Amino acid sequence: MYPSYMHESLKLVEQTRPARLKIAREKGRSKIFPSMTAEEREDVLHKFHPDYKKDAKHAVRIGPNAGEEITTEVADILESWPRINPDTFEPMLKKPDMETDVLVVGGGSAGASAALLAEQTGARVLLVTKLRLGDSNSVMAQGGIQAAVNPQDSPVRHYLDVMGGGHFDNKPELVEALAMDAPLVVEWLTELGVMFDRLPDGKLKTRHGGGTSRTRMLSCKDYTGSGILRVLRDEIECRNERIRVMDFTPAVELLMDAEGRVAGAIVQNFETDEYFIVRAKAVVMATGGLGRLHTQGFPTTNHYGATCDGVVLGYRAGAKMLYMDSVQYHPTGAVYPEQILGFLVTEKVRGLGGQPVNKEGNLFVFPLEPRDVEASAFIRECLERNNGIATPSGQQGIWLDSPIIEELEKPGTIERELPAMVRQFKRFGIDITKEPMLVYPTLHFQNGGLDVNAQCETNIPGLYAAGEVQGGTHGRNRLMGNSQLEITVFGRRAGKFAAEYALALKKELPLNLDHVRAFSKEVQKLGIDRSRVSPILLPDYIPSHIKEKQMTSHYLGTVRG
Amino acid sequence: MSKKQEQVSVFIMGKKFMVPAASTIMSALEYSGFQLKRGVGCREGFCGACATVYRLKDDFKIRTGLACQTVVQEGMLIAQIPFVPAVKPVYDISKLEPTITIFKQLYPETFRCLGCNTCSKACPQDIRVMDYINAVERGDLAKAAELSYDCIRCGMCALRCPAEIGQFNVAILAQRLYGSCLAPKSKEMIERVEQIRKGQFNEEMAAIKATDKAALKKMYYERDIEPGESV
Ligand SMILES: Cc1cc2nc3c(=O)[nH]c(=O)nc-3n(C[C@H](O)[C@H](O)[C@H](O)COP(=O)(O)OP(=O)(O)OC[C@H]3O[C@@H](n4cnc5c(N)ncnc54)[C@H](O)[C@@H]3O)c2cc1C
Ligand code: SF4
Ligand code: SF4
Ligand code: FES
């Protein structure tokens, strides 16, 4: 149900469709529009990518990356007060409430994989997570997971594609681990019971994604992330003897010992506001991304708990960050209807042959450029060339012609391949098998993160990081399907290596919070207002006219203290 | 931007609030001043955290939905169901036979299904829940796995079921058994895993890792692209 003023433009999309279809059929889908040269890519990125905007970045003033330009909203939460006062917590440190070998922080697929592998390696595991186990960005992935499983493909080709997608800034050892472990991860997941899409003879279905030179995108319909994580969660629940899970229990600070090793965390029971001291020989940070920081005011595809906590906690403990100057805007976020603003329209729509067209119904970019390039081209089409379609609430968007898929492939393809997408739009009265979607870039992914090696070690002993919270795998631009891969590949690695480290650790030393105290001093020197607190844990969507009247509760960020 | 948004009144757990008419139940809660902790997750219909029951004005029916996916209506009576207690046995998937017997042992209540179809009506994902339960009863695990695949574990079916079945847990067991035992194996994948374990790509990988940026760039822009789709 698009408003009537859009009908004229919708007609144009229909009118141009036969010609666009003809080209796709005759020349092949990879030739429907010339892909950009290296120079053209550079140009559109510099002029239109949000990361390049003035004020997008600030030099962070304290901590291990001091002096480095990073995303402004991230710099702000790093230059913030801790939620806890080290002096009040100091006496509690002598009597930890819980002890474990490996503490996993985060309940997405990175955390779940880490917990399973740590247990398998012989460690006792505690997994704490902010919402429920599984409520995460991981569960939302629709498009797929990459793995070079076809004979015409190889891990080496996968490596090259990842490096190119990341503009060659990726950390080679991480990309090597990613590409080489990929088929092993698919085997592991299959043994656990993940139902990847297959052909009747068992061959795994593979498709192209943005920036792939071979079809290597595996999927579980368009519930890929859910299809994987529901199995990992079930497996964790089946190993509940040795993996303890605590839902609604975010970590709010790391603990260290006298030798400067990370040795546990302070966690908060979200419902009773009790705080617990968890002593752990090793900690795996698997807290995911930052979408809920809404950088530059963008809407986001991310889940409710994506507030960059892991980077904050790790950074305070001295862990270095890599590429925190870069976030990913996914080219196709929904802009209409208003209730689904920012929601992800999976890249698979373009993988299946869907085409982005402007208000005249014309193609203006190759549909599967790397994401940052594609997103920048959309912004250019709307802002510079004035070829966007305005929504009633004043957003801009371009059409994503999905109905063309039914003709390119066969009727019924959309229902079969994109059931989640169909359902999503149907709930709001739009039939994507007959009408295009209106889209614009949306905040999607944290490209950078904590700097780790291929064993997932940070520069601080005892602190491991895996998943979206880690930086370096994708350089400054991730390709679809490599993140679902990253979280399982590095989740498994982090679990294994953290467990081995923990089991080899001989003596345990007293815990301290000196790093928090030292960091607070720096924050004080900057003259940061006391009300600025991090990790922020949850975003704040309560309108100001209500907030003004919530007189007696004081706020620590969004959560009442 | 529209200046004055149209508002409707809703009753959150019985208490009246005025909220913008275009709100989802979730944004209506937040607009009313609730800081959500439970009952919210992905906010896009993928996690099942936000199961909600409601009645519409002058309507006797109890309806079910996802708070993040349901638009408010004038006079709506709303309550969230943040947790659904369900039976969850522990098993070692690698040791289970993919047959009906295991369901009889682990989830005997499945076979008490009355065929009332209340579960399917309650499902916000429009899944034919009863049909997948019936498929399990027949021992057709492939069908059960396929029919239940879009389940996001919101728990609404289980709450409404007069036979007290925990459908979503039954579903995941069927899916895991199908995925791990019954689905045809991929020869290509097995071969690739063997090649990697034998170290077949190690040399080539070491070489490309050692390639400098300029040469790598050249390789990248000159690489051939597989046409079309393999499927
Ligand atoms: C809508 C969407 C679609 C996507 N589609 C794809 C795709 O098709 N292919 C692909 O490869 N990638 C995709 N991605 C990206 C990918 O899914 C994510 O990058 C990835 O799942 C991140 O996994 P993770 O385990 O690192 O983090 P998450 O899955 O986000 O998990 C982080 C967990 O940590 C918890 N947490 C956060 N802070 C704390 C704290 N302080 N204490 C305790 N717990 C905490 C969170 O609650 C959450 O459970 C998509 C992402 C989104 C949002
Ligand atoms: S089958 Fe049950 S648990 Fe799954 S989505 Fe439907 S109602 Fe929710
Ligand atoms: S609600 Fe329960 S008893 Fe009724 S059809 Fe569904 S599973 Fe069977
Ligand atoms: S919040 Fe995840 S389904 Fe509604």
DSSP characters over A162-214:
HHHHTTT-S-HHHHHHHHHHHHHHHHHHHHHT----B-TTSPBP-B--TT-SS
CATH 3.50.50.60 fits A86-139+186-194+221-326+447-511, yes or no: yes
Contact B153, B168 (CB under 8 A): yes
CATH 3.40.50.261 fits A4-52+331-443, yes or no: no
Distance A16 CA to ligand 1 centre (A): 38
For the CA of A443, the nearest ligand = 1
- Measured between alpha carbons, how far is A205 from A203 in angstroms, rounded to an integer? 6
Q: What is the mean pLDDT of chain A?
A: 95
Residue A298's pLDDT band (cuts 50, 70, 90): very high
- Measured between alpha carbons, how far is A98 from A91 in angstroms, rounded to an integer? 15
Query: Residue B71 in 3-state DSSP?
Result: strand
pLDDT tens, residue by residue, B199-212: 999 999 999 999 99
- The answer to whether the CB of B26 is under 6 A from ligand 2 is no
Residue A202's pLDDT band (cuts 50, 70, 90): very high
Q: Name the residue of A219, A249, A417, A483 to mutate for ligand 1: max ligand atoms within 8 A of Cβ.
A: A483
Q: Which two tokens stand for residue A111?
A: 């955390």
Q: Report the percentage of chain A scoring pLDDT > 90.
A: 86
Q: Using CA atoms in the order A135, A138, A144, A146, what is the torsion angle rounded to 10 degrees?
A: -160
Amino acid occupying residue A535: P
- Tell which wins on pLDDT, B143 or A55: B143
Please state the rounded mean pLDDT for residues A391-412.
94
- Measured between alpha carbons, how far is A135 from A109 in angstroms, rounded to an integer? 10
Q: Which of A158, A198, A349 to mutate to test the interface with B (most CBs of B within 10 A)?
A: A198
Q: Where in chain A is the domain with CATH 3.90.700.10?
A: 4-52+331-443
Task: Determine how many CB atoms are found less than 10 A away from the CB of residue A162.
Answer: 27
Domains along the sequence of chain B with CATH: 3-80 (3.10.20.30), 93-182 (1.10.1060.10), 187-221 (no CATH)
pLDDT tens, residue by residue, A457-484: 999 999 999 999 999 999 998 998 999 9
Q: Which two tokens stand for residue B18?
A: 């005025």
Q: DSSP H helical segments within A317-402, as ranges?
A: 348-351, 371-383
What pLDDT was estimated at residue A143?
Answer: 85
Q: Name the residue of A127, A136, A474 to mutate for ligand 1: max ligand atoms within 8 A of Cβ.
A: A136
**Between the CA of residue B204 and those of A155, A181, A307, A314, B105, what are the distances in Å?**
10, 15, 40, 35, 51
Contact A282, A267 (CB under 8 A): no
Nearest atom in ligand 1 to B44's CA:
1
- Measured between alpha carbons, how far is A78 from A291 in angstroms, rounded to an integer? 16
Q: Where in chain A is the domain with CATH 3.50.50.60?
A: 86-139+186-194+221-326+447-511
What pLDDT was estimated at residue A560?
Answer: 56
Q: Which DSSP helix (H) or strand (E) runs through A499?
A: helix A482-504
Q: What angle do CA B153, A330, A287 make, to 5 degrees?
A: 55
What pLDDT was estimated at residue A555?
Answer: 55
- The answer to whether the CB of B25 is under 6 A from ligand 4 is no
What pLDDT was estimated at residue A504?
Answer: 97
Residue A343 with chain B: CB contacts under 8 Å: 44
3-state secondary structure A277-312: EEEEEEEEECCCCCHHHCHHHCCECCCCCCCCHHHH
* B226/A152 CB distance under 8 A: yes
Residue A393's pLDDT band (cuts 50, 70, 90): confident
CA-nearest residue, atom 8 of ligand 3 = B113
Q: Which DSSP helix (H) or strand (E) runs through B19?
A: strand B15-20
What pLDDT was estimated at residue A209?
Answer: 86
* A191/B180 CB distance under 8 A: yes
Q: DSSP H helical segments within A317-393, as ranges?
A: 348-351, 371-383
Q: How far is CA A250 from the centre of its chain?
A: 18
